[in-house]
Amino acid sequence: MLESEMGYQSELVPMSTTGDRQTQWNLSQKGGKGLFTKELEDALLHGDVDLAVHSAKDMPTECPPGLSLSAFAEREDPRDVLVLKKGIQNPKVMATGSPRRQAQLKTRFPKSQWIQLRGNVETRLRKIAEQHEAEGTILASAGLARLGLTNFPGLKFMYLPVSEMVPAAGQGAIAIQTRSSEKDEYTILGNPKTQREVGIERKVLESQGGGCQIALGVCMNEDSIHFFEEKTGYLSFSCSEMSESEILNKIKDFDK
C-alpha cells in the first residue's frame, strides 16, 4: 500500500499497454494515443481499479462511455528536448515517430532522414549514443525529469522554447481518469492552473480533429498560447484576458 501526501492509502497496480508491448509498430499509423490507454480504461470499466494515471499528452480527445478525465496534476516543464550526439550539428538521421515534432524540425534539419526508434527512453538514448542507429531524437522534458535523466554519456540535451517547438496538448501534465459517476471525488487531485491550461489545449486539439496522426501542437504557457499546424505555421498570442471561446475562435480564424 502507498500513502499519498494528502493521507490517502492506495494500491499501485502496474499495467502494460499495447503501445508498450508493440515495439515495432509505427504508432501514428496504428492508432496512436489509444494504444497507451485501452488496457487501463478496461480495468476502470471492469472495477479492477478506481483511477488510472496517464501522461495527458497521450490521451485521446474523447473518453470511452462511462469514463472521464477528472483531474490534471500540477504540470512539469512542457518543453521538448532536442537530443544530439556530441559533436553533431546537422544530423543525417533523426529519430521520432511524432508528425508534430518532425514537421517542426524539418526546417531546422532539412537534409535529415527520419526514422522511428521504439523502446523505453533509456533504450532509445542508448541506440543513438552507443549503437549509432540515429544521430539525434527529441523527447519531452517532463518525461526525462521523471526518470532522473538530465544527461546521458555521449549525448547533449538542448531545451527548446515552446514558441519555437510547440509541445503536444497536455505535455508535461499527468491526467487522472476515473469512472464518470465518481468524477467529483477526484477533482481535488487537480491543480487549478494546470486544469485550465490543459483543458483549453485539449479543446483546441479537439476543434482541429486532433490526434497523434496530425502535425499539430498547442501549449498555454505563462499567459500566452502557442499554436503550430503544419499547413498554416506558428501562432503565438497573449491570452491572459481572453475567455476559452475567444481563444478557440482566434485559433480557428488563423487556421482557416
User: DSSP 3-state assignment of 42?
Assistant: helix
Please say whether the beta carbons of 75 and 171 come within 8 A: no
| Identified catalytic residue from 48, 58, 223, 253 | 58
DSSP 8-state code for residue 65: T
The secondary structure element, H or E, covering residue 138 is strand 136-140
Residue 53: CB atoms within 10 A of its CB come to 13
Enter the C-alpha cell of residue 212: 497523434
80 is catalytic: no
Enter the C-alpha cell of residue 53: 494515471
The identity of residue 228, as a single letter, is F
Active site positions, annotated = 58
